[in-house]
Amino acid sequence: MAEASPRPRVLVVEDEAIVVMDLRRRLERLGYELAAVADTGEEAVRLAGVVAPDLALMDIMLAGPMDGIAAAARIRERFSVPVVFLSAHTDPETLRRAGEAVPHGYVIKPFEDRELGTALEIALYRSRMERRLAENERWMAMTLAHLGEGVVTTGPDGLVRFVNPMAEKLLARPGDEVLGRTLAEVYQTRADEDMESDDGDSLLLCRADGASLPVEQRFSDILDDRGQRLGSVVVFRDISRRREVEQALRESVVGLRRTLKETVNALTVTSETRDPFTAGHQERVSHLASALAARLGCDADTCEGIRVAGLIHDIGKIHVPSEILAKPQSLTPLEIGIVRDHSRVGYDILKDIPFPWPVARMVLEHHERMDGSGYPHGLSGEAQLQGSRILAVADVAEAMTSHRPYRAAFPLEAMLDELRDGRGVRYDAAVVDACLEVLTDGTFQF
């Protein structure tokens, strides 16, 4: 069973004993608890700090130098206790002075229980709302004070009304130099022409000390519940450190790409020293394959991956004996089997290198065919990567138009006939079409 809420505690400030007795009975009936009784303003202030009441019910006319109005103002200022005035005086001057004390209610003597209860309930409700608002404002103030972003707000007149500590630091201006001025006077930026930004909004903040600071900013309007503009806010942050990290990352990527390029070149040279008769074959296949990928609409990164795979697609031939690679006669079935194994060997060499593309798999599959007649696994159709299907066509086109120890180069037209004959059967139809286009329209030459 839930516990009953504690009864609100009331400090009664009244110098007539009979009135105090009456108030005690009324408060009991209305569900309130009498926290304490004071008969002077000074005693009311003291007790407010001692008993911490939920509210004070105070007569205006009290004995001594401090009347109820002065005591109410002191209690509100020191302890934030809501005060309801209880008085028979309704003259304009008394009401004016009472209003200056900002009371939470005013009950005119004589009164009924209903009037007193209503006044106390309204006072308690107002007090709770004010306390909640004050707490929210404190939370907001603390959050803004410790925020890592600068915040500047303006009112409907365009003048700055708030600036948080981080904004003061980034602007190199104390708050008293910012408040009351236009935003354009205190917050000025210019384009950073030396830095390319992904979002095209690279800005430098012009600080009061003459320095420039790279920033990221957001502007927003402040609207009321009816959509009317109350002002604006700009939130900005120092991105100097981010710029440094991005620059270091770019330099690292450049270094990694250079290392990758040198590694691929070393692998290419290694494989071609084993087969001098096909020197340049991998490079020519690489150029044709990347041209085909571009013609097929592949993005730049995919084209680069296919180019790299083409440069080392025959790396597995380092396991083939030189006498087989340079043999001027047709190969025996055993020798053919050894040569065909170069795709798998190439895959084994490359599979653990962390390329940003599936290079090892393209090397493994570049002798597969669409109808499953290729090797080493007899893959067919879409089971092969698109890059593998592109390499297969480029490899056939280059090999047929180049001299080999056991045969002379085929004429260009014979190679084109082979592609046309195998289109959609052995070779990917779209890749064949792209190859025929680039080889006949002058786009590409070996």
Per-residue pLDDT at 276: 64
Tell me if the domain spanning 150-238 has CATH number 3.40.50.1970. Answer: no
Q: Cβ of 366: how many Cβ atoms within 10 Å?
A: 28
CATH 1.10.3210.10 maps onto the chain at: 246-440
CB 285 within 8 A of CB 362: no
Task: Look at residue 212 and give its three-state secondary structure.
Answer: strand
Report pLDDT digits (tens) over 158-208: 999 999 999 999 999 998 999 999 999 999 998 887 665 544 457 899 998
Q: Out of 3.40.50.10190, 1.10.1670.10, 3.30.420.130, 1.10.3210.10, which CATH number does the structure's domain 246-440 have?
A: 1.10.3210.10
CATH 3.40.50.2300 maps onto the chain at: 9-144
Report pLDDT digits (tens) over 20-43: 999 999 999 999 999 999 999 999
Q: What's the whole-number mean pLDDT along residues 44-48?
A: 94
More confident residue, 31 or 279: 31
Architecture of the domain whose range is 9-144 = 3-Layer(aba) Sandwich (3.40)
CB 195 within 8 A of CB 243: yes
Per-residue pLDDT at 200: 45
Per-residue pLDDT at 275: 67
pLDDT-derived band at 247, boundaries 50, 70, 90? confident
Report pLDDT digits (tens) over 369-419: 999 999 999 999 989 999 999 999 999 999 898 877 777 888 889 898 999
Instruction: Decide: pTM greater than 0.75.
Output: no
Question: Across all residues in the chain, what is the average pLDDT?
Answer: 88
Could you give the count of Cα atoms lying within 13 Å of 60 in the half-sphere of its Cβ?
22
49 has pLDDT over 90: yes
CATH 3.30.450.20 maps onto the chain at: 150-238
Per-residue pLDDT at 2: 47
